[in-house]
Structure 1
Amino acid sequence: MVELYGRVLTRREVAAHSGALSQFAGVRLMTLGDGLERGIRMLEFRSGTGLRFTVLVDRALDIAECEYKGLPIGWHSPAGFRNPGLLDYEGEGGLGWLRSFSGLLVTCGLDHILFMDEAPAVHYRYPHRKSVKASIHGRVSGIPARLGGYGERWEGDRCFLWCEGTVTQATVFGEDLHLTRRIEIEVGTNVVHLHDEVANRGFYRTPHMYMYHINVGHPLIDEGSRYIAPIADVVWASHAGQDYQGQGVGYWRFPAPQLDFLEQVWQHQLASDPQGRTPVMVANDRLGIGFKVITRTDQFPCMLEWQNFQAGNYALGIEPSTNHVHGAAFARDREELIWLDPGAARHYETSLCILDGACEIARAEAETRALGRQPDEDYPQPSFNYTPLGER
């Protein structure tokens, strides 16, 4: 059954109330036509609840805009949604990626995440490629997808909106990694499901690292908004070795935009339910709106929190990651880098949920705290206890 506007309807009843489902909900393909965005194919999803989000086909099927009943959820950076043809990934000493960094979901990978790195390339069996240089957060988010399809699917009286495509990150004498992404949402709901497969289609054993940069902005992020997660341990904070409380911003209560704020990054070790699922949520109690991300700890064992409360760049990042915050060299030294054999694949299942009203926020918070109660203090001392991830 489809729940729309306070009524539960069959498929025939939905049809009886309109000439087409698109009056209430749907997914459609369009092409942006001006400025830095010119030429980008974009899919617009509307679930029938007031939830609208857009998927950039030509930027790795990342989620760009997201709003609920007219209230923005996703972050828009000054860089905008840049056509990937304008991206100089290796520019600016490895920081060129930042010139296309915007939107609710920015995918990082497929063979590298976090800060710049250079590693031996002997596994690619090509003497002229002595090393692989990686810029910040990898190449994938600057690659257009091959769109496999999109539309609506009915299962009895339930309707699902979906899209699917494949992003190819490949070179001669190097990696040949393919991300196949499927995005689905049931009509009448506020839960977006991401199904990702990263496969090695080549014939070299290839490293794999993966992370989601899930960026929420104002008005969800505002003075007094809260970060809620089943934190078993605060592992690391980027500023802990300096003046830990110098900016007056702890890990869970957010300030208004700050002049000259220096980004803060935390790594948390999270508890999970018996199925291995773990939630992270942000709540704005004043507006009665929340946002929850559900991941699997066997897929993303590390959770980073990015606080970018600088005026003009005001955002919070929820960052599930395959690896610890210190990146590729740290992973290699600890033998924690994922290696995909030829033909091997990894799968990732993630949900993004809108929480509408104080009751939904309270219910989600209670479920989260039942898994593990996060520290009450703003500045818990990091343990620097990096859980061994093992050879993968």
Structure 2
Amino acid sequence: MSDKKTWTLTNVDERTWLDSFDLSSDIIAQASPLPWTIKKRTLHGGLTDGVDVIEVDNGAFFFTVVPTRGMGLWRGEYDGCKLGWRSPVKGPVNPAFVNQVDCGGLGWLQGFDEWMCRCGLASFGPPVKDVIVDDEGNSSEADLTLHGRIANTPANRVELEVTTGNPPVLTVVGVVEEAMLFFPQLRLTTRISTEVGSNRITVSDEIVNLKDTPAEFEILYHCNFGPPFMAAGSRLVSPTRRVAPRDPLSGEGMANVFEYGPPVPGFVEQVYWHSLASDADGNSLILLRNADGDRGAVLRFNVNELPCFTQWKNTAAISEGYVTGLEPGTAFPNPKTFERSRGRIITLEPGERYHADVTVEVHTTPDGVSSVEDEVTALLDGVDPEICPAPLPEWSVV
């Protein structure tokens, strides 16, 4: 029978906050196949000043959760392979140093250097003017900034959980509220879990509308990979049914949409929209593998929860941010006004909850990578993807 122990690190309602906290298999009198640790600390200096981080080591997989930045994942490492990318930003950045309205609404980029961050919750995508209707039915124009507010909103409650078992399960729980008077009030509760000794992390999210009126909602998981998973000759292996470029410039790269080239100084980003196959329950996955086929990063998710998959290619110079974003979401990162016109914006009724899970899995052997490729092949069931050479009106602003 499993037993769960819980520790509170932050609870704003109770004015609880711990500057540091250490937990380990040595402290907990439980059987464990490997030694593990969870450490909470507060960073100081530069743009990181005041940022809380929680470092989890399950004995095989190390990763950092950042409560100050919306419970994003900053970095990871498994079997000597680093997860994340080299951003021009020296983070993790305290949101106090991020002005999202800078540069025409692109200020979100001032803090962007995570391995995985969420975009949303009220909106994501490029800056756009939108019409907001308040509680009294009055309309006003509002400027939506790049990718929304959730990644720059600190958690107001953070807990650690350790569940006994063979193996034990380590969980970081966080609550982040994106709320403002007269505007949407959305709460994200996330559970970031891993089994001791596992090559997996699961991010399990619940979003609830706290208002007594309906509220629009969207979320996208911006999962970012640089070397060693992304490098010259790396490949996206996905059960793609249909893929199209976001814009004409991205269309110039359609012949190599699934492949990645070497770093190119001054490279201009390319973005592609994918529709993915799944099993009968909606479960799907994508794989980013290196040229040798012995390193692979996997995302597993359900297309009933996250139906839109975005591939962001930025094969710029290493110093400029050589990275690919693999991004399951409820919509594509177009202007919210466009996504609304295409019926991809979700409306949550008062008290309604929305669930989404993303599992990250790492393989460092040819057999492991090959087994995931076989899963993708099975989902495709012998059907080649439809490669669209130009943007599609239903997916892109054309």
TM-score band w.r.t. shorter chain:
0.7 to 0.9
| Residue 303 (structure 2) pairs with residue 297 (structure 1) | yes
Closer, same or farther: CA 29–195 of 1 in aligned 2, 3 Å? same
CA displacement at 1:274 relative to structure 2: 1.6
Amino acid at match of 1:183: I
In structure 2, the partner of 1:337 is: 345
2: CA distance between counterparts of 1:242 and 1:197? Answer: 36
Alignment of 1:180-191 (within 5 A): 180-191=189-200
Q: Provide the aligned C-alpha RMSD in A.
A: 2.5
Distance 2:153 2:74 in 1: 15
Alignment of 1:206-285 (within 5 A): 206-234=215-243, 236-239=244-247, 241-242=248-249, 244-245=251-252, 250-285=256-291
The equivalent of 2:187 in structure 1 is 178
Aligned letter for 2:36? A
5+ residue gaps, structure 1: 1-13, 388-392
Q: Give the paired residue count.
A: 365
SS of 1:172's partner is coil
- List aligned pairs for 1:310-389, cutoff 5 A: 310-311=316-317, 312-372=320-380, 381-382=389-390, 384=392, 386=394
CA distance in 1, matches of 2:258, 2:192: 29
Q: Separation in 2 of the partners of 1:220 and 1:249?
A: 21
Match of 2:202 among 188, 193, 204: 193
Using the TM superposition, give the Cα deviation of residue 78 of structure 1 relative to its aligned residue in structure 2, in angstroms. Answer: 1.1
Per-residue CA deviations over 1:77-126 (Å, capped at 9, x if unaligned) read 11132101111122221000000111110110001011112222224327
* C-alpha distance in 2 between matches for 1:362 and 1:337: 36
> Residues 345 and 151 from structure 1, CA distance in 2 versus in 1: closer, same or farther, beyond 3 angstroms?
closer
134-143 or 157-166, which deviates more = 157-166
Structure 2: gaps (5+ residues): 1-24
- State percent identity of aligned pairs: 28
**TM alignment of 1:14-163, pairs within 5 A:** 24-49=35-60, 51-79=61-89, 80-125=91-136, 127=138, 130-155=140-165, 157-163=166-172
Q: SS of the counterpart of 1:364? A: helix
Q: Distance in 2 between matches of 1:56 and 1:20?
A: 28
CA contact (8 A) 1:76 1:103 kept: no
Partner amino acid, structure 1, of 2:321: N
State whether residues 233 and 270 of structure 1, in contact with CA within 8 Å, keep that contact through their aligned partners in structure 2.
yes
Check whether the contact 2:269–2:312 (CA below 8 A) recurs between aligned residues.
yes
Change in Cα spacing, 1:67 to 1:374, as seen in structure 2 (3 Å) is farther
| Distance (whole Å) between structure 2 residues aligned to residue 40 and residue 224 of structure 1 | 36
Q: Kindly provide the CA deviation profile for residues 201-255 of structure 1, in whole angstroms up to 9, marking residues without a partner as x.
A: 1223211011011001112111111100000111x2134x35844x697211111
Q: CA deviation at 1:152?
A: 2.2
CA distance in structure 1 between the partners assigned to 2:254 and 2:206 by the alignment? 40
Whether the 8 Å CA contact 1:267–1:325 is kept in 2: the answer is: no
Letter of the structure 2 residue corresponding to residue 95 of structure 1: L
Shift in Å, 1:287:
7.0
